[in-house]
Structure formats: C-alpha cells, structure tokens
Amino acid sequence: MSKLTDVPKRLLIGRALRSDRLGETLLPKRIALPVFASDPLSSVAYAPGEVLLVLSVAGVSAYHFSPWIALAVVVLMFTVVASYRQNVHAYPSGGGDYEVATTNLGPKAGLTVASALLVDYVLTVAVSIASGVENLGSAIPFVVENKVLCALGVIVLLTLMNLRGVRESGKLFAIPTYVFVGGVFIMILWGAFRGIVLGETMRAPTAGFEIKAEHQGLAGFALIFLLLRAFSSGCAALTGVEAISNGVPAFRKPKSRNAATTLALMGGLAVTMFCGIIGLALATDVKMTESPGMNLLRNGVPVGSAYVQNPVISQVAAAVFGQGTFFFVLLAAATALVLFLAANTAYNGFPLLGSILAQDRYLPRQLHTRGDRLAFSNGIVLLAGAAGLLVWVYGADSTRLIQLYIVGVFVSFTLSQTGMVRHWNRHLRTERDAAKRRHMHRSRAINAFGAFFTGLVLVVVLATKFTHGAWVALLGMVIFYGTMTAIRRHYDRVSTEIAAAEGPSEEAVRPSRVHSIVLVSKLHKPTLRALAYAKLMRSDTLEAVSIKVDPAETKALREEWERRGINVPLKILDSPYREITRPVIEYVRGLRGENPRDVISVYIPEYVVGRWYEHLLHNQSALRLKGRLLFTPGVMVTSVPYQLESSELAKKRAKRRAEYSAPGSVRRGPVDRRPKEPSGKG
C-alpha cells in the first residue's frame, strides 16, 4: 500500500496499536452500556410502533390490547435478562450462546446458534439504520426522500468508527445514547405530569385521523393470531440482549460481575421506556397503520400515498413537548442518532463471534485477524457489506426489514438456555457443597423457565412472521450453516492431508536426485543471475531450457550462448503453436515420469518493478507458468528477482510506509480463553 492510501487510512482510523495495548481497550460499565446495549435500548423507538401497526389491522378498537402485549414483552425481557446473567457468570470467555450450545448440546447446535446470530447481527444493522433514517426524516424531509443513500452513508461512517477500535467508538456512542435515554425519561415524566397532575389533554398529530380496519370485528382464533403477531413484533425490543454475554472479555475486571450489572441496568431501562411510550401513545391517541396511504383516513378520505407516517416516538414527543420545540427536536435527533449507533451492538458482536468461529475453523482464518486498532477489521467490513446489501435490496424500509428480524435471536435464546439447563445438570451431579447446590438449583430454574418461554415465543414468531418475510432469515441461517460446515470440512481435510506422520513418509524421504532447470527467454542480466544462483545450489543436473517460438530469436540465442561459452547445456523445446507454458509443463512431467524419485527444481528469472503499470508489462508469462507448475507433484519453483531501476520507488514507498504502520501485515487476534472467573450471584 502506498503512502497515498496509507495516510488517509491513518487519518480515518488512527495509528496502529501494539498487541500489548489490548488491555487498554477494555470497557468500564458506563461505556459498555452504550456499546453493547444500544440495540435493546434504542429498539423502544420502533418496537411500540410495530405493536400498534399490527393491531391496526383490526381497527383502532384493538389498541386496548396493547398494554397486555406490553406486559408480556416485559415478562419476557426480565426472563431473558435473568437467564443471561447466569450465562455471563458460567461462560465469561466471550463465546456466548455459541459456546454454551456447543459445549452442552454439541457442535451442530452450536453451529445453528452461530448461524442464527450472524443473520441477526446483519439484520440489526439494517433495521436500526433504516429506522434511524425514518426518524431523522420526520424532522429533515431530504433524509426520508433519499433513504437508501443516507442509510448506506451511515453504514460507511459506522464502519470507519468501529475500525478505530471498541473503546474509542464506545466513547463516541456514549453521549447520544445517554441523551436519548434521558430524553425519553423526561418525555415520560412530563407527559405523566401533564396528563395526571395537570389533567391536560395531549393529542398526537394523528389523533384526529381514523383507521380503516382491514379485518373488522376479528374474534376467536383470528383475534388470537393477530395478538400473537403483535406480540412477536413487540419482541423486537429484546434484540441485542445476548450481545453482552458475547462481549464479556471486553469488560474491565471483574468481567462477569460488570457484565451482569450492565445486563440488569439495560433490562430495567428498556422495560421502563417501552412501557412508558406505549402508555403515552394510547393517552395521546396515536394512530398507526401498515398502509397509511389507504387505511389512514382524514375526514373519511384516505390521506394518500404522499403522506409520510412518522414513528410512534416522534408523534408522542410532538404531543408532549409540542411540534418543533427544543425538546422535540433534541429527542428526534437523539432518537435517530441512537438508532444509527444501535447497529454498534452488531459491530461488536459479529466480528467477535466471527473470530471465535474462525478459530474453530468454521469461517476463513482471516476473520480471526485483528487490525491496526486491535479490532477485528475483516469481520467489521464483512458485516458492513452484508447489511448494506440488505438495505439496498429492501429500500431501507424498516417495516419490511423488521419482518425478517428476531427469528435468529430467539433461536439462539432457546438453544442457549436449553444448554444452560444441561450445564447445571452436569455440575449438580458432582457438586456436594449445599450452598453451591442451592445456587445451581436456582440458576437452573431460571434457565429452564427462560428456555420454555423463549421456545414458546420462537414458535409464535415462526407461525406469525414466516409468510411476512421470516423465511428469508431462515434461508440465510441455512446458507450460513451450510457454508460454515463446508469450510470446516475443508480445513479438516487439509489438516489431515498435511499432518506429519510419526514414521518415515514420502515427504521425509530424501529425493534420489535434483534436476534443475533455468528458464531462458533471452540472454541478459536476469538470465545470467538465475544461472549463477542455480549453480550455487549444486544440483545433480543443471540445464537451461528455452521455448522455440520465433526461429530467428532462437537461433540468435543459441549463437550467443555458444559465443559466451556458458558451461550449462541449453535445451530448445519446440512450440509449433507458439505456446510458452504447455511445452515446459510437458517437459517437466516427462522428466518426472522417467525418474519418479527425482525432484525437478525450476528457476524463473523475474523483474522487480516499482510502478503499478509495469506489473502489466512484465512477468505475465512467469506468473502463468508458476501457477501451472504449483499443481505438478515433485516440482519446486524458485523466483530469481532482478531489480530494475524503478524498483527503488517501491523501496522508498515501503520505507515511508514503515514510519506509519506497525510491523507485520498479518495479525492474529487471540480470543480470551483464560480460566473462568468464580461464579458470583446471579
């Protein structure tokens, strides 16, 4: 990489960090909360709206079911948070749901969890950013008019911020997250004060509208199905809860205790905000519908396709603070920003999980590599690319994207909690201390209830969302599972193939002879250098080989060879079709066929150039020939470089680059697999 590209890289992501500074990137709880919990905290900006959108199918009369749906979501949230507090104490190494499922349920269950989480992380980025663009569009029309472009721009910006490192990006994300949380709490308290104490009537911008019910007077099974679908949409508030259990190694010590505390704090904040927004939406008479242009009526007339339906939180803020007031604008900006930053939960979870999977040989090893800033750069870039593709395909429409959402997370919830039950069962068989057994029984009961409840919700989600887009998420999981299985098979096959045998092997047996060949096109300095080097190797036989493409040139080469008296025999290979590669390959294979225990060593003179376009003008035949020779058993290929004057330019660029870069271009990122911390109280 030249200085021209290296300097902008340093400006964008900062100077490279040494590996021994990894400990400096660990997070205190105040930074870990916005880093790992921004997704569940920000989901309160769209989860209440999703509940109302589904209920609107039966008309505004169905809105009175929303408090009960909110209560069910709250119970589920507390169950999941309590369950994951057991996880972070039992498995603090950062494997999270994947490690729990693999250890207790087997590799297939672990791979299923990993596939589900990878899909869900990609959707987290796409949904959060699409929703953030829509919230920002309520205040800035240009944004909503160019949703896809703006969403892709935000993905690029977030990617650059995360490439700078977890701790540095966490500091940037902390302020807007806390401003959003504070703004929502102020809105809830001020709205409750105005409505309860002052007795004022607050009306949302859509309070005067009517909803044209798609299915009027639903009852029986149809009504139950609708309520279950609304509940499954509200469960979007739980996405990202598992990220803390995956990110335990990023916390400061005591890691498990700090992670468990952060989980509890996140659950309490998310539940309070979710219930408060649902309550204010009902109090201010918010109207939401899945097809506002047709089903939202003003004076009995549809509002039309030009109407832009603002999110629930924006409508509630307009009712409580007043449209265009300082607090309204502040909350709208903070909501949009925190939704953008909510994608950071995935930016931390996806690369870390990808690194663990790469270490276990389920993903390419490049994903186990830490970048300049000690972040898993390859995983970050891969996540950004996948999320950007989804945003482009679905037009940055959060309502369409959210139908794909939460399937994966509930697959991981259910398998993880089932694995934890088996974990406690295994330890109870050997534990004799009465106090520890009581603690294990309590933890097992929490995880068992969590497994049952999340499994039930998974069935509901699949039943209610499958035809609305959940099948796409399931397809993505199947593709991830199949791909990772194939990668593991490949790595296992290669590992078996190259493993050193205990006794004598074919590779360890010394070849009977070494037959060296120097490829010659013309008699010039690169050829003479290759000949001199080949002589130093003291092969059993040495010969120069040239391809007869142009008879005149071949004749001149032979005459020059004899005139100089070079004491290496020159062999001319005929090439009636003017090919270079095939005659050499056939000649080498012929030598191997005559003497299978011989090794053929091929020396190829190559130019070292310094300008990019010079690579196109030189060494093309050598590259093709080397590519073919690599597949020929018993053949060793040696490049003999000859530096042209322009190579000095490359040398100077490399020297300048060394001033900006840390040594080494391939970096490994070890996952924290140290002994587990003693379990504290769950």
Kindly provide the residue ranges of all beta strands, DSSP E only, lying in 467-617, ordered along the sequence. Answer: 514-519, 541-548, 570-574, 599-608
| pLDDT 10s digits, 296-307 | 888 878 878 777
Question: What does the pLDDT read at residue 410?
Answer: 83
Name the average pLDDT for the chain: 79
Are the CB atoms for 534 and 518 separated by under 8 Å?
yes
Are the CB atoms for 65 and 265 separated by under 8 Å?
no
Q: What H or E segment, with its residue span, contains residue 486?
A: helix 470-498
Task: Tell me the Ramachandran region of residue 574: left when phi exceeds 0, alpha when psi lies from -120 to 50, beta otherwise.
Answer: beta
**211 residue type, one letter:** I
Residue 569 pLDDT greater than 90, yes or no = yes
| pLDDT 10s digits, 593-619 | 888 888 889 999 887 777 766 666 666
CA distances from 523 to 232, 333, 362 (A): 76, 71, 50
| Beta pairing, strands 210-211 & 570-574 | unpaired
Tell me what percent of the residues of the chain surpass a pLDDT of 90.
10
| pLDDT 10s digits, 156-183 | 888 887 776 554 555 666 788 888 889 9
Question: What does the pLDDT read at residue 418?
Answer: 92
pTM over 0.75: no
Residue 133 pLDDT greater than 70, yes or no = yes
Q: What H or E segment, with its residue span, contains residue 11?
A: helix 3-13
Question: What does the pLDDT read at residue 509?
Answer: 53
Are the CB atoms for 38 and 342 separated by under 8 Å?
yes
Q: Is 638 helix (H, G, I), strand (E, B) or coil?
A: strand
| pLDDT 10s digits, 5-34 | 444 444 444 444 444 444 445 677 777 787
Residue 267 pLDDT greater than 60, yes or no = yes
**Least confident span in 188-197, 441-450, 494-503:** 494-503
Query: In the structure, what pLDDT confidence band is assigned to residue 352 with cuts at 50, 70 and 90?
Result: confident
Residue 316 pLDDT greater than 80, yes or no = yes
Residue with tokens 């949230």: 77
Distance of alpha carbon 333 from the chain centroid = 26
Q: Distance between CA 137 and CA 112 in Å, rounded?
A: 37
